[in-house]
Amino acid sequence: MIYYLLLPVFSLLLLAIQVTVFDILFFGKTGLEMSLILVVYAGFYLSIIRGIALSFVLGFLLDCITGVVPGFFMLSYVLIFLISKGVSLKVYARGMVFTMGFMFVCVLFEKSLIILMYRGLYGINVFYDILNASLLQAVAAGVFAPAFFVLFHRLEVLFNVSEARSPDQL
Amino acid sequence: MASPRKYYAVTAVIIFVVVSLIIFSLNFKSPEEISFFRRVALEAVVPLERAVDLVFSSVVGAWERYVLLVGLERKNRELKAEIASLGRDLSNYREISLDYARLRKLMNMKNDFKFPTVAARVVGRNRSSVFKTVLINKGTADGIKTGFPVMGTGGVAGRIMETSRNASKVLLLVDYNSNIDVIVQKNRCQGVLRGCGSSGCELRYVQRSEDVKTGDAVVSSGLAGVFPQGLLIGKVAIVEKGEAGLFQKITVHPAADITKLEEVLVILRGKEDNG
């Protein structure tokens, strides 16, 4: 229960850090979507119910803070969580290189959804505009993902929200 | 036989996916409506961002002041401390001077408007995002409503997209969702200025026969009822007439420096004040 109580508070804090601190650290040149790293972490390590709730809340809050199309981040985070969960069930997803590579792909997938949304719904081609920024962000997310996975695991243990993970829970 | 827990998981997946899809599609049906939860989230994030910023600045400050100096000679330490102190003072004075210059510009702009304005500070931005928005620390408590124009130093910065009691989200004019009815000041030809992300804005629907040149000022037309007439929006940067087509391809650079917004003025005027 404590997990669901802490969820909105922790998510809001994480997004506040993402929007303020990382903007300063990277001099506004690129960004580190820590929230997306957490969604992939949830896909790999949390149960479906906890993970999807986390992805939903993170997406909702990100929509509120920076989103222009309400519901976009919510939908894309839920989708990315489900893909991560599916991948973690089929392959051994604990290696560092795999984590980095998968994170890279997930960032590009998210950006592709944005491109598709603009193309499909508004008829605007934003591909070239976000291509360079997306690649840089994908690399940054891939490089930092293993460190953040360790951090998220520590927090999970610290707040005593980790759970016994058996196949039955999936 | 599958366990009940597995059914819970499948049900949760279906519920969350369906709810996400509904919220996403509702946006196209009634984009102006802002839910209670969105308002609460917007309200909650501003103080939190300020707190995070404060903590981060303090940590960085402490690191610079103390940790880096450990292990140096006493005199060296004193000298460095003195230099650091002088540097801080200088930096503070520079900051005050820049603040003063910015605020003076804003105040000058404020006097130019016939509408009341509210000055606000930018408290959150996500420059890496494809969506170009910023958060400001003023909301409905100060009379701000959705759709109000927002001015940066130099010109229009965008308009209020969502607002709660003490915070508002500004849709910058460079965002792909931003469309502003404008005129080229010199020859009064009309067009629609659409955001193009980091590459600025594009002035659309200007006929090939119109004489538009690099450096021409682009101002709001006042027709759509959101922006008062005559607000400086930007300057024409590139004009391409091409071989065929009815319209010119015109790139406009915003007059306000969108990447360095720190303070903004919100013009308190609604659609009912059109004119």
Cα(B171)–Cα(B208) distance, integer angstroms: 30
Q: Which of B31, B124, B131 sits opposite A20 (nearest CB)?
A: B124
Whether residue B130 lies within 8 A of chain A, CB to CB, comes out as yes
Q: Which residues pair with B108 in a beta bridge?
A: none
Does the residue B236 lie in any domain? yes
Confidence of residue A31 (pLDDT cuts 50, 70, 90): confident
Does the residue B78 lie in any domain? yes
A168 by Cβ neighbours in 10 Å (0-12 / 13-18 / 19+) ranks as exposed
What is the per-residue pLDDT for A132?
73
State the best of B58, B129, B137, B175 to mutate against chain A, taking most chain A CBs within 10 Å.
Answer: B129
Cα(A136)–Cα(A130) distance, integer angstroms: 10
What does the pLDDT average to over B151-170?
89
Confidence of residue A36 (pLDDT cuts 50, 70, 90): very high
Cα(A10)–Cα(A12) distance, integer angstroms: 5
- 3-state class of A72 per DSSP? helix
Label each residue of B59-84 as H, E or C.
Answer: HHHHHHHCHHHCCCCHHHHHHHHHHH
Whether residue B55 lies within 8 A of chain A, CB to CB, comes out as no
Does the residue B84 lie in any domain? yes
ipTM attached to this prediction: 0.73
Q: Is A136 left (phi over 0), alpha (psi -120 to 50) or beta?
A: alpha
What does the pLDDT average to over B39-64?
75
User: Which phi and psi (to 5°) does residue B25 adopt?
Assistant: -75, -30
> Is residue B57 scored above 50 in pLDDT?
yes
Closest CA to A38 of A143, A119, A157, A145: A145
State the best of A19, A30, A113, A132 to mutate against chain B, taking most chain B CBs within 10 Å.
Answer: A19
Whether residue A78 lies within 8 A of chain B, CB to CB, comes out as yes
What does the pLDDT average to over B87-97?
77
Neighbours of A46 (CB within 10 A): 28
- CB atoms B23 and A74 under 8 Å: yes
Q: Which of A30, A56, A68 sits opposite B131 (nearest CB)?
A: A68
Whether residue B28 lies within 8 A of chain A, CB to CB, comes out as yes
Domain residues for the domain of B50 are 34-270
How many Cα atoms sit within 13 Å of B238 on the Cβ side? 8
Does the residue B238 lie in any domain? yes
Cα(A166)–Cα(B22) distance, integer angstroms: 32
What is the per-residue pLDDT for B210?
86
What is the per-residue pLDDT for B66?
65
- CB atoms A129 and B38 under 8 Å: no
Per-window interface: B 210-239 vs A, CB < 8 A:
none
User: Which phi and psi (to 5°) does residue A19 adopt?
Assistant: -80, -30
Stronger pLDDT, B61 or B233, i.e. the higher one: B233
Domain count along chain B: 1
What chain A holds in terms of domains, given with CATH numbers, is 2-163 (1.10.1760)
Q: What is the residue-averaged pLDDT of chain A? A: 83
What is the per-residue pLDDT for A167?
43
- CB atoms B126 and A23 under 8 Å: yes
List chain B residues with CB under 8 Å of A18: 126
> Is residue A41 scored above 90 in pLDDT?
yes
What is the per-residue pLDDT for A37?
93
Of B71-85, B134-148, B171-185, the one with minimum mean pLDDT is B71-85
pLDDT over 90 percentage in chain A: 30
A28, B262 Cβ separation under 8 angstroms? no
pLDDT over 90 percentage in chain B: 12
State the best of A68, A110, A169 to mutate against chain B, taking most chain B CBs within 10 Å.
Answer: A68
Q: Give pLDDT tens digits for B12-33.
A: 888 888 888 887 777 666 655 6
Confidence of residue A38 (pLDDT cuts 50, 70, 90): very high
B59 by Cβ neighbours in 10 Å (0-12 / 13-18 / 19+) ranks as exposed
Q: Report the amino acid identity of residue A38.
A: L
Residue burial B133-149, b: 16+ Cβ < 10 Å; e: rest: bbbbbbbbebebebbbb
Cα-based distances in Å from B59 to A15, B48, B56, B177, B183:
19, 16, 5, 38, 48
- Closest approach of A123 to chain B, Cα-based (Å): 11
Of A9-13, A35-39, B6-10, B178-182, the one with minimum mean pLDDT is B6-10
B172, B134 Cβ separation under 8 angstroms? yes
Residues with Cβ within 8 Å of residue B115, at least 6 apart in sequence:
B228, B267, B268, B269, B273
What is the per-residue pLDDT for B182?
92
Cα(A63)–Cα(B212) distance, integer angstroms: 38
> Is residue B175 scored above 70 in pLDDT?
yes
Q: What is the chain B residue with the closest CA to A58?
A: B41
Does the residue B72 lie in any domain? yes
Whether residue B133 lies within 8 A of chain A, CB to CB, comes out as yes
Q: Which of B12, B26, B197 sits opposite A49 (nearest CB)?
A: B12
Cα(B203)–Cα(B218) distance, integer angstroms: 9
Does the residue B22 lie in any domain? no
What is the per-residue pLDDT for B272?
46
Q: Give pLDDT tens digits for A113-169.
A: 888 888 887 777 878 777 777 888 889 889 999 999 999 888 888 776 655 454 444
Q: What is the chain B residue with the closest CA to A124?
A: B176
What is the per-residue pLDDT for A83?
94
Stronger pLDDT, B73 or A125, i.e. the higher one: A125
State the best of A54, A64, A135 to mutate against chain B, taking most chain B CBs within 10 Å.
Answer: A64
Confidence of residue B5 (pLDDT cuts 50, 70, 90): low
Q: Report the amino acid identity of residue B12.
A: A
List chain B residues with CB under 8 Å of A55: 16
What is the per-residue pLDDT for B230?
85
Q: What is the residue-averaged pLDDT of chain B? A: 80
Does the residue B1 lie in any domain? no
- CB atoms A31 and B128 under 8 Å: yes
Does the residue B77 lie in any domain? yes
Cα(B94)–Cα(B88) distance, integer angstroms: 10
Cα(B41)–Cα(B34) distance, integer angstroms: 11
Neighbours of A58 (CB within 10 A): 29
